[in-house]
């Protein structure tokens, strides 16, 4: 049976690996779009694009790998049924319990990766991303200003243009600012400015020795020309601020025993992917069962929809726990445990076979066979 175990492990691992590659490529496209949008809005610096993209993918690993494992197993087992290999394997006396060994050769490493990514690497990636952006928030680029281009002010209140800057991004030159509200608008310009951060962490452009033209937006001629010594303009907020005490950034062990709803939500959010990964892996084998000429992709779609519903419920449960609508002691067990029990039951009931029987010759009357 060692050759059979090796063959089945190779089939399951190959299909899972190929599915994971496809899903990660799709995820790269989606993550790249999000990061690029944040860069265009001035929330993330262009120089951090690749690092932010990598950190986003690390955080998404506990979501991608369970799906890749389930779809990979379903495709591999479905091919065995389609090519009539699985009936031969069953006829040799290999039932669900015997099939469990090659299955676990593939599932256990994936479980370890999902556990490491969900409990440690994912939160660490989010924390590192927030640290990088918060540290860079003190320079011009992450503040949302790029030399030679217009940048929108918070809440669509206007635009800022910066001609050039020094290497540190703290000193600016050739500044143009257009601001407006429901009634009035003003245009401010200055040859020099600097980036200033107040005690609350808000960033300002401190304009020096410039002019300001202020007037109505209704077309009347009530305009005023001002000359100022100093004028501070609020800049766009950064995308994320790092807070070491935020539950999403805290180490896993620090969340254990914490009665805060947000900490409990994070604790369950990091543990649940492990149970769902095992549950979907066990469900994949009976869900892939089909006749030789039967289409197998309908069952694959059903498994994908089941996965989507389970992970959507996981995200909703996190919000419910944080808002106090769901008890922290109940957590997400109401999702993971029923699915795990259903997976074990479905796996053990599927393809149950008796021991192979040897056909004995039937003796006819007179002793002739």
- Where are the domains positioned within the chain? 2-136+243-349, 150-234
pLDDT the model gives residue 355: 44
Q: Are 32 and 52 in contact (CB under 8 A)?
A: no
- The DSSP call for residue 172 is E
88 vs 7: CA distance, rounded Å? 14
Task: Give the position of tokens 């540290």.
Answer: 135
Task: Give the position of tokens 């089909």.
Answer: 290
Nearest to 289 by CA among 342, 347, 338: 347
242 vs 33: CA distance, rounded Å? 23
Task: Give the position of tokens 């501070």.
Answer: 232
203 vs 37: CA distance, rounded Å? 21
Structure tokens, 74 = 């379903």
Q: List, in sequence order, every residue forming a beta bridge with 41; answer none if it has no partner.
A: none
Structure tokens, 71 = 């779809």
pLDDT the model gives residue 51: 83
CA atoms within 13 Å, Cβ hemisphere of 349: 8
Instruction: List per-block mean pLDDT (blocks of 10 residues) for the chain, which spans 369 residues.
Output: 83 92 88 77 69 86 92 88 79 74 92 93 86 64 65 69 74 85 84 79 81 84 85 65 76 86 90 93 86 68 90 92 87 91 87 45 47
pLDDT tens-digit profile of 268-307?
999 999 999 999 999 998 888 876 666 667 778 888 899 9
Q: What does the chain come to in residues?
A: 369
pLDDT tens-digit profile of 168-200?
656 788 888 888 877 888 888 889 888 777 777
104 vs 281: CA distance, rounded Å? 9
Instruction: State residue 215 phi and psi, 5-degree precision.
Output: -165, 180
Structure tokens, 1 = 């049976």
pLDDT the model gives residue 142: 47
């Amino acid at each position: 049976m060692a050759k059979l175990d090796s063959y089945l492990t190779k089939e399951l691992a190959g299909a899972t690996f190929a599915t994971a590659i496809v899903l990660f490529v799709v995820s790269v496209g989606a993550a790249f779009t999000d990061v690029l949008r944040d860069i265009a809005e001035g929330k993330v610096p262009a120089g951090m694009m690749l690092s932010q993209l990598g950190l986003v993918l690390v955080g998404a690993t506990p979501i991608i790998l369970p799906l890749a494992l389930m779809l990979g197993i379903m495709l591999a087992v479905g091919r065995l049924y389609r090519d009539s290999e699985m009936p031969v394997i069953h006829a040799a006396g290999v039932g669900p319990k015997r099939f469990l060994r090659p299955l676990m050769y593939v599932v256990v490493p994936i479980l370890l990766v999902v556990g490491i990514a969900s409990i440690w690497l994912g939160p660490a990636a989010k924390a590192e991303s927030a640290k990088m952006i918060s540290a860079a928030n003190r320079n011009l680029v992450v503040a949302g200003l790029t030399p030679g281009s217009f940048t929108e002010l918070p809440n669509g209140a206007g635009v800022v243009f910066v001609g050039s800057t020094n290497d540190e991004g703290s000193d600016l030159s050739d500044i143009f600012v257009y601001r407006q509200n429901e009634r009035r608008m003003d245009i401010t310009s200055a040859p020099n400015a600097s980036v200033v951060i107040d005690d609350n962490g808000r960033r300002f452009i401190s304009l020096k020795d410039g002019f300001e033209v202020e007037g109505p937006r209704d077309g009347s001629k009530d305009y005023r020309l001002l000359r100022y010594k100093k004028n501070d303009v609020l800049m766009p907020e950064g995308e994320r601020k790092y807070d070491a005490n935020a539950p999403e950034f805290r180490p896993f062990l620090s969340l254990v025993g914490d009665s805060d709803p947000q900490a409990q939500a994070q604790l369950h959010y990091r543990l649940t992917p492990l149970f769902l990964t095992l549950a979907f892996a066990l469900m994949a084998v009976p869900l892939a069962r089909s006749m030789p000429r039967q289409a197998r992709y309908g069952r694959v779609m059903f498994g994908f929809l089941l996965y989507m519903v389970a992970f959507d419920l996981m995200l909703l449960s996190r919000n419910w726990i944080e808002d106090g609508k769901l008890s922290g002691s109940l957590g997400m067990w109401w999702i993971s445990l029923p699915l795990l029990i259903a997976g074990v039951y479905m796996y053990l009931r599927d393809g149950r076979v008796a021991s192979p029987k040897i056909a004995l010759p039937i003796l006819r009357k007179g002793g002739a066979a």
